[in-house]
Amino acid sequence: MSIKDKVPVTILTGFLGSGKTTLLNRILSEEHGKRIAVIENEYGEVGIDQGLVINADEEVFEMSNGCICCTVRGDLIRVLGNLMKRRDKFDYVLVETTGLADPGPVAQTFFMDEEISSEFTLDGIVTLVDAAHIDQQLGRSDESSEQVAFADVLVLNKTDLVSDDALDTLESRLRDMNRMTRIIRAENAKVPIETVLNLSAFDLDHILKRRPTFLEPEYPFEWTGVYDLDAGKYELMLEEGPDPEMSLVALVNQGESEEELKDGAESSVRLYAENANTLEPGNTVPYGEHVNLKLEDKGNKSFILNIEKPTKIGLFTQHTAEEFNMKVIKSEENKEIPFNTERFWQAEHEHDDEVGSIAIERFGDVDPEKLNTWMGRLLSEKGVDIFRTKGFISYSGNPRRIVFQGVHMLFTAQPDKEWGNEPRRNQLVFIGRNLNEKEMQEGFDKCLI
């Protein structure tokens, strides 16, 4: 049976009062041509008025080996096992979990139980969040952060009760915890049906199409401008900005292609890791060094750029040029030289929550054996803390890209479409608790050929 013949299942999670039942009723009452069977773990809040609704108490079954990844939901196995004999009656399943449900066992059920996985496919996990209360809930309970971490779609509900600023802050907090998720704001759980059903959410392609930069690493700088400069003396002029100082790295011979910009960024990351020399206004900016521009004074501040022979200079700046109205001026002619190319980078920021995402993106092929060994060890050591994994891998010698997806220690790797002319690369995302990004990236790098 191919994945197309399997019945898709959407899991609806969220704390009591987050609006799950409202959303469920909305889905059931709308004309979408699907016949949906609902398995309801949380009942009593608001009645559901529809034919195929099955109430089932949540039954979390741990195995004698004590492995949390083998923990499954007995109620779902039982109910779905019966439902699969009635496939002519429905073509979609929705599971509404209790507010305190751990999404792990729910998702694992679709990997662990052969009978279930041969008939059903987990389409996606939708988590409803009460915008007014989630901040407190995240601090108080593991369940709510796990529900956020597992979500393919986060519906930020009850936005009418919260200011726009607070919503922005909340959204970026949630985004930090789960970079794969799609965040939708809603009042009264009013969201387009297609944003919660038929997500094929385990399909990373969809996510990349939606947000092509989500796998991008974070950089210690936000902006790069490339300036084509003749020999001579230039001034780097800045006005007041959001900070009394700003870090910068200037590189010579900076190319303008995407690949060259990324190379420059990688060099700058290494330079940024070194201590910065502080430059007062009027000082000369050295090349290939991490410097810190003092910008406390009012009005324009100038730093000197000396160019010996024509070159392209790349300025990798902590903040964007716009924030300080930064200009490059040719001193003799007092003429502004505009940049040829600019590039914005995803800026690094503080991560407060224990739960977070790690993305690894590398060009090239990996050695399947090395990767297996590394993955096997990583998941056996950290599987409890790694909630979800998704990604593409390029195996050397394999014309197809390999799609990875996992829940805790459970993992599947399947050949997907052919690479064709696309550049070979690897993209992996891990969502989990207290993950060590540097260690994981280094581990992965050792698997590259």
Partner 1 sequence: MPDIEPFSPRGMFHEGWTAEVNDYAIACGWALKGKQFIVGDVAGGIFAFEGDTGKIIWKKENTHSGGLLAMAIHPEGEIFATSGQDGNVQICNCHEGKVIKTLDLGKGWVEHLKWSNDGLFLAIASLKKVYVFNEVGEEKWISEDHPSTVSAITWSNKNELATACYGRVTFFDIINNKTNQKLEWQGSLVSMELSPDGDIVACGSQDNSVHFWRRSTGMDAEMTGYPGKPSHLSFDDSGKLLATSGSERITVWSFIGNGPEGTMPGELCHHTEPISSLAFSNKGMLVASGSRDGSVVASFLKNDGNGDPVGAAFAGDLVGAISWRPDDCALAAVNAKGVVNVWKFKVRTNLFSKGFK
**Smallest distance, Å, CB 43 to partner 1?**
11
Cα separation, 15 vs 139, whole angstroms: 13
Size of the site for partner 1 (CB under 8 A): 21
Q: Evaluate whether 401 touches 392 at the Cβ level (below 8 Å).
A: yes
Instruction: Provide the minimum distance between the beta carbon of 388 and partner 1 in the complex, in angstroms, as a whole number.
Output: 22
Does 102 contact partner 1 by CB under 8 A?
no
36 vs 226, which CB is nearer to partner 1?
Answer: 36
- Select the residue interacting with partner 1 from 29, 82, 306, 412 (CB under 8 A): 82
Among 4, 85, 335, 438, binds partner 1 (CB under 8 A): 85
- Minimum Å distance from CB 221 to partner 1? 51
The Cα–Cα gap between 426 and 403 comes to 10
Q: Which is nearer to partner 1, 114 or 165 (CB)?
A: 114
* Smaller CB separation from partner 1, 82 or 331: 82
Phi–psi pair at 443, nearest 5 degrees: -60, -45
Least distance from partner 1 to the Cβ atom of residue 117, Å: 10
Residues numbered 45-74 forming contacts with partner 1, rule: CB under 8 A: 54-55, 57, 59, 61-65, 70, 72, 74
Q: Report 188-217 residues binding partner 1 (CB under 8 A).
A: none
For partner 1, the closer CB: 43 or 411:
43
75, 96, 152, 235: which one binds partner 1 (CB under 8 A): 75
The pair of three-digit structure tokens given for residue 335, joined into one six-digit string: 């003429």
Residue carrying the six token digits 């309801």: 40
The rounded distance, in Å, linking the Cα atoms of 70 and 49 is: 35
Closest CB to partner 1 among residues 70, 448:
70
Q: Which of 16, 35, 47, 86 binds partner 1 (CB under 8 A)?
A: 86
Nearer to partner 1, 2 or 65 (CB): 65
Binding of partner 1 at residue 2 (CB under 8 A)? Answer: no
**CB-wise, 70 or 252, nearer to partner 1?**
70
Please, which of residues 103-142 interact with partner 1 by CB under 8 A? Answer: 113-115
Select 52 or 337, whichever has its Cβ closest to partner 1: 52
We find the least distance from the C-beta atom of residue 59 to partner 1, in angstroms, to be 5
85 vs 438, which CB is nearer to partner 1? 85
Instruction: State in angstroms the smallest separation of the CB of 13 from partner 1.
Output: 21
Residues that bind partner 1 (CB under 8 A): 54-55, 57, 59, 61-65, 70, 72, 74-75, 77-78, 82, 85-86, 113-115
